[in-house]
Amino acid sequence: MLEGLNEMQKQAVLHTEGPLLVLAGAGSGKTKVLTHRIAHLINNKNVAPWSILAITFTNKSAKEMKERISGLIGEANTRDMWVSTFHSMCVRILRRDGERLGFNKYFTIYDSSDQKALVKEVMKSKNINEKTLKPSEVIAYISSNKNQFILPNEAITESNFRTKILAEIYLTYQYKLKENNACDFDDLLLNTCVLFQNNPDVLENYQKKFKYILIDEYQDSATRCNMKSIA
């Protein structure tokens, strides 16, 4: 499992107790360290594959990561492992436990065109002219709030007139999403955070399940909420 690694990389791979942060530039072998570390945990430390969560940012990199791990320890050993993007992980969690938030497991994930159509519908119901307030501005506002973990009931307290209108649209937009058994892309992260915060038993199940969490490229705030919760 250590073949082709330099001394610093070997140290990272062999570190199996407690947290580990690897800081290095692009192309320096961070993903190589992560995949070899997983292989070491399974082959040499007898860690069950299903108790490992490996996360990255794109579907392509998640696919490549799983292929690399399979190349090291065999495809059978990676079958039960969670190797995915942050959003795919959240979809999986919400399809299992989203009923706690009022969604069934067949909820729809709205793309950008669905999102725009719903925003326009909400604006029309409130008699808000699209020339006065552009749907793109509303979408940007909603996304910004969700990424900062600001829920509609918190945003609605804004005193600025324009911001208050945006907050009211946000509130109705979220109501309509739930009514349609749907989430937008930002909701996947946000709703998983809410699920964990409001349901300690669900959170505990995942904390017990995942003994090792390995993340390739760890950055945005909603993601940190999810990962800190599980850890």
Question: For residues 130 and 132, what is the distance between their CA atoms, to the nearest angstrom?
Answer: 5
Residue 220 has pLDDT above 60, yes or no: no
pLDDT band at 216 (very low <50, low <70, confident <90, very high): confident
Question: For residues 161 and 4, what is the distance between their CA atoms, to the nearest angstrom?
Answer: 61
Q: Which domains does the chain have, with CATH numbers?
A: 7-98+200-230 (3.40.50.300), 108-180 (1.10.10.160)
CA distances for 189 relative to 64, 92, 108, 109, 174, angstroms = 23, 11, 15, 12, 14
For the chain, the distance separating the N- and C-terminal CA atoms, rounded to the nearest angstrom, is: 26
Task: Render the burial of 199-223: b for 16+ CB within 10 Å, e for the rest.
Answer: eeebbeebeeebebbbbbeeeeebb
Strands 108-110, 212-215: pairing is unpaired
The residue-averaged pLDDT of 122-147 equals 96
pLDDT of residue 112: 97
Residue 226 has pLDDT above 80, yes or no: no
pLDDT of residue 26: 76
Question: For residues 174 and 209, what is the distance between their CA atoms, to the nearest angstrom?
Answer: 31
Cβ pair 37, 12 in contact under 8 A? yes
The residue-averaged pLDDT of 9-35 equals 87
Cβ pair 69, 81 in contact under 8 A? yes
Strands 182-184, 82-85: pairing is unpaired
The residue-averaged pLDDT of 133-157 equals 95
Residue 221 has pLDDT above 70, yes or no: no
pLDDT of residue 19: 85
